Structure 1
Amino acid sequence: MAEDQADNRRSRGRNPRGQGERLREEILVAAMRMLDELGDDQALSMRAVTRAIGTAATSIYLHFADRDALVLAVLNRCHDDLMRAMTEAESTHADPADQLRARTMVLGEWAYHHPGLYAVLHESALNQGTDMAFRKELADGTVAAVRRCMDAGLVPAGDAATIALDLRAAVHGAVSMRLHQPDQPWPPLEEQVERFLTKLVGIRP
């Protein structure tokens, strides 16, 4: 009798095929939207996420051990989306300089349109104690793009890693200032990025 009751409980606890993955995706999408609104991973509540998708509070723990695990999954998803968008943007150009320009614009526009997620990606408390390998992958991709320009003779030879870091810092600053000082008469981001590429990388306009 006891075994039958246990079997019934286990059966009720099983998700139909594919339902578990759908729930995980719903949780990720909801958490991503909320983090973009909050701009602070510490302000995210696991209970609020489950309320947003209309499921039991305990369901979220079947997929994510805690809030940090959920936030990290969101940031990994952001990274995957960014990498895919940059790869697609680069693939439309054969010229290495145009590839770097396209890649940089994707990153700048994504940061501008997702300020909350951008803040969590760079400023969250989770950053202090977690090795986020995907951030290095993003940085390495920019270094590789700068190096391709050098190899093609399109820009002066130099330290690609340092130049890529300067470029990323400049774009980060441009986006951050736009977000925090929206009343300023900012030029189009594309124009600023073009100047960064000219002055920092050496790409001819």
Structure 2
Amino acid sequence: MGRQATGRGRNPRGQGDRLRAEIIEATLRLLDELGDDEALSMRAVARAVGVAATSVYLHFTDRDALVLATLRRCHDDLMRAADRAAAGADDPAGQLRARVLVLGTWSSRHPGLYRVLHESAVNRRPEMSFRHEVADSTTAAVRRCMDAGLAPAGDAALVALDLRAAVHGAVALRLSQPQLDWPPLAAQLDRFLTRLVGLRSADPAPATDPHREPQTPAPPPARSGEH
């Protein structure tokens, strides 16, 4: 115990931000392992970083403040990854597909963080308003598809909500029932895009996209009864 507390020297003046970042990094790892922010302790975070618990409290007043900052970082990283993937697509349909694929694959690869991000009691705090950015960016991506004639015109916000509900449902079921014979996630997401959004074109994610699954051809778009 003493070894962990003394294994790290004092941060030089001006490097408090670095320690704060290391604390958040450690919390990300622990939350992904635990899948429950209520099971997280400040002492466990301090041990993971190699500092005394008092050092953690200098940056975060309590566990909820630490969890909130960590979820903010998690969300920002996820949004940047989605933006990068979308930037590599050729048209609005490909951009929407790339964005949804990143969100879906990240959630399936980080089940613990996914659960905390969506199930934590901290989610009910007004400071968690940044979560609306995912909804807003998805709605904007759907609207661009409609404006470009790549999807039937309609209520972009409602269509985006249907799409997000389907993606979250698919991820949640895969996590709770992994024994089922699941199709590749990319293929399932393509079906959501054609049947819920009505995409007439789905540009595959670039081969350099680290979130990409093995390519599966998108099913043909639905023709009637869509909106």
Residue type matched to 1:191 in 2? A
Unaligned regions of 5+ residues in structure 2, if any? 1-9, 201-217, 219-227
Counterpart residue number, 1:104: 100
- Report the aligned-residue RMSD: 1.2
Equivalent position to 1:129, from 117, 125, 131: 125
- Change in Cα spacing, 1:63 to 1:131, as seen in structure 2 (3 Å) is closer
For the pair 1:35 / 2:31, whether they are aligned, the reply is: yes
CA apart distance, 1:83: 1.1
For the pair 1:184 / 2:180, whether they are aligned, the reply is: yes
CA apart distance, 1:130: 3.6
Residue type matched to 1:23 in 2? L
Equivalent position to 2:168, from 169, 172, 188: 172
Structure that is richer in helix per residue: 1
Equivalent position to 1:150, from 133, 146, 149: 146
CA contact (8 A) 2:11 2:19 kept: no
For the pair 1:160 / 2:144, whether they are aligned, the reply is: no
Cα distance per residue 1:61-97 (max 9 Å; x no partner): 1111111110011111111101110110011113000
- For 2:147 and 2:127, locate their aligned partners in 1 and report how far apart those are by CA, in whole Å: 31
For the pair 1:20 / 2:19, whether they are aligned, the reply is: no
- Change in Cα spacing, 1:135 to 1:196, as seen in structure 2 (3 Å) is same
For the pair 1:73 / 2:49, whether they are aligned, the reply is: no
CA contact (8 A) 2:122 2:128 kept: no
- What is the aligned length? 192
CA apart distance, 1:26: 1.3
Runs of 4+ in 1 over 6 A off after TM superposition: none
- For 2:119 and 2:112, locate their aligned partners in 1 and report how far apart those are by CA, in whole Å: 10
- For 1:129 and 1:97, locate their aligned partners in 2 and report how far apart those are by CA, in whole Å: 34
- TM-score of the aligned structures, taking structure 1 as reference length: 0.90
- For 2:123 and 2:80, locate their aligned partners in 1 and report how far apart those are by CA, in whole Å: 23
- TM-score of the aligned structures, taking structure 2 as reference length: 0.82
Unaligned regions of 5+ residues in structure 1, if any? 1-13
Counterpart residue number, 1:7: none
For the pair 1:57 / 2:53, whether they are aligned, the reply is: yes
Task: Name the stretch that deviates more: 59-68 or 125-134.
Answer: 125-134
